[in-house]
């Protein structure tokens, strides 16, 4: 027994030594000298642009609150995370921070006082940002109006409220390092990869997470449910979902820049990303992102319906009811053949958004309606009204099931239970 205890103590000590060694290595790797700045005004303007690219306000600003003053609560499977104040207030914000402190947070996920930051702040993505861009972002944040708003404590369950345990998480899932351009690719492709992988932190939503909240590297951008938002971010690497391999680059540019294109329309959380971030980026950067996204490997087989979920008789009854409801409520805009009238009314025939493995998004859109974002390229978007009051759960399930099986679409039917689950979820 004593021998077993000694072995266990040795293994624990060895593990702690490995963790400590990796953290020391990461700290050393983060001590990068700030590059000289020739034009301070230009650096600040660059930082303002990068803050848009990273959509920093989305998390660090509450509705109606002071910009970047924090306080927005983000629900996670481990409890609530509250965003911090990143205004230059010296007491409650980052007014006492240096550029080196900010770089440490962006690049290595550690606060000014050395505390580990929770990865709800997407430093596993932001670590790819260059020192020059991090300094520009910091220079801009120092110009925003200070807000004397104290940062609130997180409300995480035990043991997730023990920050020290993040050391083990980081050893498993985090390796700091700026983006390294691929010599075999064009400058445009590398620029797109830098934005998508870094400040854009696209895989924070479009990738499944494991039980410890880390993105699954084996399925990067392969789609995943966003638990804090209850939306499904479809796969960008599958032609069966939202893969862009078969798209024209210009159509991808239109979708990212305006929220609408001849091929699709954005709703839900992506509408906010387009409205608050992407529409403000230079056309050249949007095109670079489009070129990179289009190059992602594609080719997953289409999803086949699980016909065992409903008996043949029940399936026939549900689809008949769904077809009748579609003609009554949907066909005027989306047409009887499902081809719609794009870009105002997107097609449903062949629309991968409605035939993803998880029916979360079409259910929520039917229940709550939705609007594409209002953007410079689409200032008066057409929206879809909510049907939560007009249709009961069984009817919503029927019409979504019909849409997922009509006009060549092939996806699982939707159950009443699934609709009931999302009816109680807030619309935004």
Q: How many CA atoms lie within 13 A of 332 on its CB side?
A: 5
Residues of the chain with pLDDT under 70: 1-32, 217-219, 228, 299-310, 426-428
Using alpha carbons, list the distances in angstroms from residue 352 to 128, 238, 291, 358.
Answer: 31, 10, 20, 11
All residues at 6 or more sequence positions from 199 whose CB lies less than 8 Å from its CB, including other chains: 50, 53, 54, 125, 126, 129, 133
* E-state strands within 314-418: none
**Bridge partners for 396 per DSSP:** none
* E-state strands within 57-123: 73-76, 79-82
What is the pLDDT at residue 287?
97
DSSP annotation string for 266-289: --THHHHHHHHTGGGS-HHHHHHH
What is the pLDDT at residue 426?
66
**CA angle 4–7–10, rounded 5-degree value:** 150
How is residue 159 written in tokens?
Answer: 């043991």
Check: CB of residue 185 under 8 Å from CB of residue 201: no
- R_g (Cα) of the chain, nearest Å: 24
Check: CB of residue 322 under 8 Å from CB of residue 398: yes
What's the rounded Cα separation, in Å, for the pair 94 and 138? 9
Residue 28 main-chain phi, psi, to 5 deg? -65, -40
Check: CB of residue 55 under 8 Å from CB of residue 128: no
Check: CB of residue 262 under 8 Å from CB of residue 250: no
How is residue 61 written in tokens?
Answer: 């600003």
Dihedral sign for Cα 370, 375, 377, 378, please: positive
Closest C-alpha among 358, 337, 361, 359 to residue 347: 337
- The count of other CB atoms within 10 Å of the CB of residue 159 is 9
Question: Chain centroid to CA 51: how far?
Answer: 16
Check: CB of residue 139 under 8 Å from CB of residue 41: no
pLDDT tens digits, residue range 350-408?
888 888 888 899 999 999 988 888 899 888 888 889 999 999 999 999 999 999 999 98
Check: CB of residue 354 under 8 Å from CB of residue 384: no
Residue with tokens 């995480």: 156
Residue 232 main-chain phi, psi, to 5 deg? -105, 120
Closest C-alpha among 165, 210, 177 to residue 16: 165
- The count of other CB atoms within 10 Å of the CB of residue 384 is 19
What's the rounded Cα separation, in Å, for the pair 243 and 218? 17
What is the pLDDT at residue 299?
63
Instruction: Indicate the Cα dihedral angle 269, 271, 275, 278, nearest 10°.
Output: 90
Complete domains list, the chain, with CATH: 38-173 (no CATH), 187-295 (1.10.760), 307-423 (1.10.760.10)
């Amino acid at each position: 027994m004593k021998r077993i205890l000694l072995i266990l103590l040795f293994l624990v000590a060895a593990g702690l030594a490995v963790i400590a060694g990796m953290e020391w290595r990461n700290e050393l790797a983060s001590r990068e000298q700030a590059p000289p700045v020739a034009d301070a005004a230009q650096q600040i303007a660059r930082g303002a642009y990068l803050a848009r690219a990273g959509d920093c306000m989305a998390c660090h600003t509450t509705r109606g609150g002071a910009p970047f003053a924090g306080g927005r609560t983000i629900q996670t499977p481990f409890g609530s995370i509250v965003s911090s104040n990143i205004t230059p207030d010296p007491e409650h914000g980052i007014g006492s921070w240096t550029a080196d402190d900010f770089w440490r947070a962006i690049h290595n996920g550690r606060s000014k006082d050395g505390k580990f930051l929770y990865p709800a702040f997407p430093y596993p993505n932001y670590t790819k940002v260059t020192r020059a861009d991090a300094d520009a972002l910091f220079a801009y944040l120092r110009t925003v109006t200070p807000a004397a708003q104290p940062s609130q404590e997180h409300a995480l369950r035990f043991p997730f409220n023990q920050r020290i345990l993040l050391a083990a998480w980081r050893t498993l899932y985090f390796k700091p390092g700026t983006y390294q351009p691929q010599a075999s690719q064009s400058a445009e492709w590398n620029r797109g990869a830098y934005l998508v992988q870094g400040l854009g932190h696209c895989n924070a939503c479009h990738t499944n997470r494991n039980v410890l909240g880390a993105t699954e590297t084996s399925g990067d951008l392969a789609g995943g449910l966003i638990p804090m938002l209850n939306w499904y971010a479809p796969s960008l690497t599958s032609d069966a979902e939202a893969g862009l391999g078969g798209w024209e680059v210009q159509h991808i540019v239109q979708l990212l820049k305006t929220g609408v294109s001849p091929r699709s329309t954005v709703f839900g959380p992506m509408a906010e990303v387009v409205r608050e971030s992407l529409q403000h980026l230079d056309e050249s950067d949007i095109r670079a992102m489009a070129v990179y996204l289009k190059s992602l490997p594609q080719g997953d087989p289409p999803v086949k319906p699980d016909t065992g979920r409903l008996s043949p008789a029940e399936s026939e009854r549900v689809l008949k009811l769904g077809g009748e409801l579609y003609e009554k409520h949907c066909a005027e805009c989306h047409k009887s053949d499902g081809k719609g009238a794009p870009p105002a009314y997107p097609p449903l025939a062949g629309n991968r958004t409605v035939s993803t493995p998880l029916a979360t998004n079409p259910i929520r859109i039917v229940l709550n309606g939705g609007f594409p974002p209002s953007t410079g390229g689409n200032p008066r978007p057409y929206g879809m009204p909510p049907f939560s009051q007009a249709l009961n759960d069984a009817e919503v399930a029927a019409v979504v099931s019909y849409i997922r099986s009509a006009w060549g679409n092939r996806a699982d039917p939707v159950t009443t239970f699934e609709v009931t689950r999302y009816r109680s979820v807030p619309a935004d």
